[in-house]
Amino acid sequence: MTDPAPLLAGDELTTRVYLLLLRQAAPRRSALLREGFTEDEVGAALTSLEMRGMVNATRRDVIEVYPPDSTLPAYAADLERQARTTRSAVEGLTHMYNEARSAEGASRTNREVALLATVDDVEAAFFRAARRAETRVVRLVARSERMDRVVIRHAESIIAARPTTTSPSLERLLVFEQSILEVEGAFSALETMRADGIEVRLTPHLAFSVLAVDRTTAVIDVTHLDATGGGSLYVQQRHLAGALMDMCMGLFAASTPLPRTLRGGPLGRLHERDGQVIALLAAGASDQTIARQLGISQRTVERRIRAIMVELGATTRFQAGVIAVRREFL
């Protein structure tokens, strides 16, 4: 049998669950539990699979598995788009690495690429760079406990740059990992950012956090790998800063816009809360995640999803999201 490890990159648990589901004629949560997985493991794996469009786990026990000959190529294409974008920055990053280690380049590196040693250094560099923005600022946000807290408690500082009289058309772009939706209150925080004029998108995975400003300045933040902030960088070397901006824009283009809540007014028996449910469905959130974001029970979520699917004439949650987009409810 082919080695299953490459199927779902970077997630052994999800791969194990997915392979087990493929082998079951009638996949069920209860069967996964009997195989020795915990409730948390099953929930995490199914959430990941739903975000990748591979299963529908909206019902209490029964799991619908979509044909792998259509879902896996689409997933692989998403990974390849991200890989191409990341590879585009390799030359600039390698140049920075080599220059930092060469004696003749040390003085110039100190001016153009500064090593950041603490979280305070990272935050100071972030605000210093963001406030220089004149035309565009892009931020990729990898998940970490620190950044989860910032998103929820200090959403207004996530970009730290605003249009001014000298930069009235400042473009502000944000990309988060999709799993940010697992953090209580995150969806509301992301909607607040968008209401402030920031374009917010979601992507399955980010290797590290980056702030790129006007192709002149960037901050590489690796605090999700080292909580002390050590190893992060403040970049003012223009070629490297430009390469990082290109990488950020490529990932932004390949990511999914944060779905909007129902904006077409009530639809039949649907109401305002259902608009939030539909938006989270379209973002790939599981029932458990939707319940956490909206502060309601999972049973209520399941009941509202059934009502939404009936009202929209959809047979799956994915189809409900597609229909809502077509009818311009999102």
Amino acid type, 107: S
Amino acid type, 240: L
pLDDT digits (tens, 9 = 90+) for 21-69: 999 999 999 999 999 999 888 888 888 888 888 898 888 899 999 998 8
Position 183 scores a pLDDT of 86
For 121, 189, 285, the CA distances from 268, given in Å and listed in that order, are 53, 28, 24
pLDDT digits (tens, 9 = 90+) for 196-219: 899 999 988 898 899 999 999 999
The DSSP code for 207 is S
Position 3 scores a pLDDT of 47
Domains and CATH numbers, the chain: 1-66 (1.10.10), 82-257 (3.30.870.10), 272-326 (1.10.10.10)
Q: Pick the closest to residue 65 from 321, 316, 327 (CA basis).
A: 316
Position 204 scores a pLDDT of 85
Position 234 scores a pLDDT of 94
Position 5 scores a pLDDT of 46
pTM above 0.75, yes or no: no
The mean pLDDT value for 119-144 works out to 92
If one compares 95 and 315, the residue with the highest pLDDT of the two is 315
**% of the chain exceeding 70 in pLDDT:** 83
Given a cut of 80, whether residue 89 has pLDDT beyond it is no
| Distance separating alpha carbons of residues 14 and 60, to the nearest angstrom | 19
Given a cut of 80, whether residue 81 has pLDDT beyond it is no
If one compares 271 and 330, the residue with the highest pLDDT of the two is 271
If one compares 326 and 250, the residue with the highest pLDDT of the two is 250
Helix (H) or strand (E) holding 16: helix 12-23
| Distance separating alpha carbons of residues 137 and 75, to the nearest angstrom | 28
Angle in degrees, CA 201, 203, 208, rounded to 5: 105
Question: If you count DSSP H runs as helices and E runs as strands, how many of each does the chain have, helices first?
Answer: 14, 10
The mean pLDDT value for 132-157 works out to 90
Given a cut of 70, whether residue 270 has pLDDT beyond it is no
Given a cut of 80, whether residue 121 has pLDDT beyond it is yes
By the 8 A CB rule, do 180 and 193 touch?
A: no
Lowest mean pLDDT: which of 92-106, 243-257, 268-282, 296-310? 92-106
